[in-house]
Amino acid sequence: MSKNDPSIYIPEGLSIGYSSRFRRKNPVALLATAESPIELGDGRHLLLARNGRGKTTLLKTIAGIIPSLKGAIRCEGTVQFVDEDLRFDSELKPRQIFSALFKNGQRQFAMEMAERIELDADKAYGKLSKGNRQKVGLIVAEARTFHNGPQVLLLDEPFSGLDFSARDKVDQIWSENEEGIVRLVCVHPDEPTLKADSAVTIREGRLEKLEVVNGTLDWMETRLSLN
C-alpha cells in the first residue's frame, strides 16, 4: 500500500469506549479492544455488531470526534464521518445545498447522483422524508470525494431510511467510484447484506476483521455469531 493510498489502521490493543463523570462507580465504559492489528485499504468494508456494542463509538473514534481509551488509530486520506442524523437548513432545497457546497465537477456530480437515486432536488429539505434526507447526506459525502485525493468515508447506518431500489442505486454508484476511497459502512446485522471486501465486527468486547470470500459474507453465520 503506497503512502498516497487511503487506509485505516487500528493497532493491536486499541480500546474504544467512553467516560462519564455521572458514572461514579465505573466512570469508564470499555466497549471493545482490538486483539490484533486491523488494516483497511480502499474498497468497501462493513462494520457489524448488535446495538450498543460500539459501532458508532468506533466510527467517531476513527474520525477523531471522541478519543480512544487506549492506543491511536491512523488514517491516510481525508476523513468524513457521515451520520444518519446529518441535518441541513429546512428551508433550503437540495439544489441550493449542492450549489452552496460545491463548484464545477463536484456540483455536477451531486446533481447527477440526485437524479440517479430519484431525489427531488427542488423540494425544501424540511419537507423531505427521512429516506430522502439521507439521500442528501449521501450525495454530499460522495460529491466531496470526487477528484479530491484519498478519502476515508465512515458511514453510520446510511441505508436505514432507504428503500431497496435506492440502496441498489447507491450501491452501484459506490461500485463505480471505489478507487482511492475507503468506505467503512456500519449496517445492522439484520439488514440484507452488501458486497464488501472485508468486515469489522464487534463481539464479546473484541474488535475483529473478517475476510470476505468473493465479495460476500456467510451472512447467516456472521449474524448468529454476533448474538
Residue 185, pLDDT above cutoff 80 = yes
H/E element, 28? strand 28-34
CB neighbours (10 Å) of residue 221? 8
**Every domain of the chain and the residues it spans:** 7-225
DSSP 105: H
For β-strands 151-156 and 78-82, DSSP reports them as parallel
The model's pLDDT over 4-59, given as tens digits with 9 standing for 90+, comes to: 789 999 999 999 998 766 556 667 889 999 999 999 999 999 999 888 889 999 99
Residue 3, pLDDT above cutoff 70 = no
The crossing angle, in degrees rounded to 10, of helices 130-145 and 94-101 is: 20
For residue 195, what is its C-alpha cell? 458486497
**Class of the CATH domain delimited by 7-225:** alpha beta
For residue 225, what is its C-alpha cell? 455469531
pLDDT bin (cut points 50, 70, 90) of residue 166 is very high
The dihedral through the CA atoms of 170, 140, 154, 198 has a sign that is positive
Q: What predicted TM-score, i.e. pTM, was given to this entire model?
A: 0.89
Closest to 143 (Cα-Cα) out of 87, 97, 102, 172: 102
Averaged confidence pLDDT in the chain: 88
Strands annotated E in 157-221: 181-186, 198-203, 206-211
Residue 79 has a pLDDT of 96
Strand order in the sheet with 74-76: 38-40, 7-10, 74-76
